[in-house]
């Protein structure tokens, strides 16, 4: 069965391929000939996920799903949240984003954070939204080489290593995106 993932990001497609059973073949926007960048103009993860999925549903008439994720830090009132990718500016620079967070945290001890992922699905005329969360804390150094974004500064609760140190095999079992995608797979299995 083919499922369209409303993203141009091939890294995300590859990450989800490791989570979704291989009987489902994941197609990206490039695979359906959609090259237009869909602007994420929402002010929440839910709104952005819906904007991307609705675009594909209404422009191409196809069932699909999309995701939007972010890091929410308690001491920063939930920032960077929906602005996680471009927290330090539109150049979407990971190092600059991390420096900005450290500066704003002003050395607060063990700041609590969650990674949250929202999945928005169009399936058989229905719209469904799922979310996955992983709780943890931020550290003031970068540890580990795997993953992307804020992975080197996030230690998930119950672990002693960052996502970047734990690596993709472990991360893909416990991450916010994995927890959201597992719900999508259960929905597909029931359909
Ligand atoms: P996206 O909506 O999944 O593209 O995520 C937006 C931004 O949130 C990314 O550019 C990262 O900065 C951050 N982010 C989301 N998920 C993760 C993750 O699993 N690890 C590290 N950073 C993440």
DSSP per-residue string spanning 30-93? GGGT--S------SSHHHHHHHHHHHHHHHH---EEEEEEEEEEGGGTT-BGGGSTTTT-TT--
pLDDT digits (tens, 9 = 90+) for 55-69: 999 999 999 999 999
The residue whose CB lies within 8 Å of the most ligand 1 atoms, and thus the one to mutate among 70, 99, 138, 147, is 70
Is residue 49 lining ligand 1, measured as CB closer than 6 Å?
no
Query: Which 3 state secondary structure label does DSSP give 151?
Result: helix
List all residues 6 or more positions away from 90 whose beta carbon is below 8 Å from its beta carbon: none
Q: Domain extents for the chain?
A: 2-190
Are the CB atoms for 6 and 64 separated by under 8 Å?
A: yes
The confidence score (pLDDT) of residue 15 equals 85
User: Sorting pLDDT into bands at 50, 70 and 90, what band is 183?
Assistant: very high
Has this prediction a pTM greater than 0.85? yes
- Whether residue 68 lies in the annotated active site: yes
Among 54, 63, 67, 68, the active-site one is 68
The arithmetic mean of pLDDT across residues 46-55, rounded, is 97
Helix (H) / strand (E) containing 186: helix 176-190
CATH of 2-190, one of 3.90.950.10, 3.40.1350.10, 3.40.50.150, 3.40.50.300: 3.90.950.10
Q: Which atom of ligand 1 is nearest to the CA of 48?
A: 2
Among the listed residues 132, 147, 114, the one whose alpha carbon sits nearest the alpha carbon of residue 11? 147
User: Sorting pLDDT into bands at 50, 70 and 90, what band is 123?
Assistant: very high
The confidence score (pLDDT) of residue 191 equals 86
1 pLDDT more than 90: no
């Amino acid at each position: 069965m083919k499922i369209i993932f409303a993203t141009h990001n091939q890294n995300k497609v590859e990450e989800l391929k490791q989570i979704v059973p291989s009987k489902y073949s994941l197609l990206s926007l490039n695979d359906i000939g959609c090259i237009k960048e869909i602007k994420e103009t929402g002010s929440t993860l839910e709104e952005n996920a819906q904007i991307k999925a609705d675009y594909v549903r209404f422009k191409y008439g196809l069932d699909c799903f999309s995701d939007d994720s972010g890091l929410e830090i308690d001491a920063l009132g939930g920032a960077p949240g929906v602005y996680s990718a471009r927290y330090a500016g539109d150049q979407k620079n990971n190092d600059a984003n991390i420096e900005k967070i450290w500066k704003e945290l002003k050395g607060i001890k063990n700041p609590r954070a969650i990674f949250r992922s929202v999945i928005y699905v169009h399936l058989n005329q229905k719209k469904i939204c799922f979310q996955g969360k992983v709780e943890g804390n931020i550290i003031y150094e970068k540890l580990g080489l795997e993953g992307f974004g804020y992975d080197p500064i996030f230690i998930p609760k119950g672990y002693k290593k960052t996502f970047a140190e734990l690596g993709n095999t472990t991360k893909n079992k416990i991450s916010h995106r994995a927890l959201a995608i597992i719900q999508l797979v259960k929905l597909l299995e029931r359909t």
